[in-house]
Amino acid sequence: MKGHPVGVEYNWQRVPGDWPESKSPQELWDLFRARDLDESRPSHSVQAECSLMHLVLTTAAPDDPASSLPLFGGTLLREGAEDPMFGFVGVELFSLDPAQVQQAAEFLTQAPLGQWALDRREQIRRHVVERNMAPFFGDDWDLGLVGTVAEELVGLRAYFEAAAEAGHAVISYLDA
């Protein structure tokens, strides 16, 4: 993925470890459409904070390749496309195999996520202002946004820990 997308929602779906190799990108994409119908494959979604979470992870650990895995990392299965009615539609689809999920989970488990978010308060603020993202967060966006980003990162850590423990792969996409 190029740069930090604003994004409306970022989604993850746990799947059996062999699925990214044994199913086509279209089959995996179709899985997302039915994600609410099957509780055996837990999903996780984050609203507009996804680009801020990516900012925190990749600036806190710029030399660690695992910092990119949880958000916008893995194998690109499907690129974004232009929709005749809506313009660019964020349908970039990624997959992480079980080894990459384990690597991401270990990275997130060891990371002081709350402190990293707090240490990047000014970077987060600049990112929001420069990309005109404030409307996503409401009138008082500046007050609690760092805490919200930290909470979302902690939730993501728990999701990846559970996926790694189960030996799952993770497919993900940005719904822009």
Helix residue ranges, H only, 61-131: 98-110, 113-119, 121-130
Please state, in angstroms and as integers, the Cα–Cα distance from residue 171 to each residue in 17, 36, 103, 111, following that order. Answer: 10, 15, 15, 22
pLDDT for the residue 133: 76
Cα 38 → chain centroid: 20
Spell out the domain ranges in the chain.
9-175
Inter-residue contact 139 to 57 (CB < 8 Å):
no
Residue 84, SS3 per DSSP: coil
Query: pLDDT for 38-62, tens place per residue?
Result: 666 777 878 768 888 989 999 999 9
Packed helices 98-110 and 141-166: angle between N→C axes, nearest 10 degrees: 130
16: its two tokens: 């059996």
What dotted CATH number matches 9-175?
3.40.1760.10
Q: Which tokens in the block code for residue 32?
A: 């997302």
Q: What is the pLDDT of residues 104-158, one digit of tens each?
A: 999 999 999 999 999 999 998 888 888 777 776 766 776 688 888 999 999 999 9
Let me know: does 92 contact 80? Beta carbons within 8 Å.
Answer: yes
Nearest to 157 by CA among 95, 104, 99: 104
Q: What is the pTM of this model?
A: 0.83
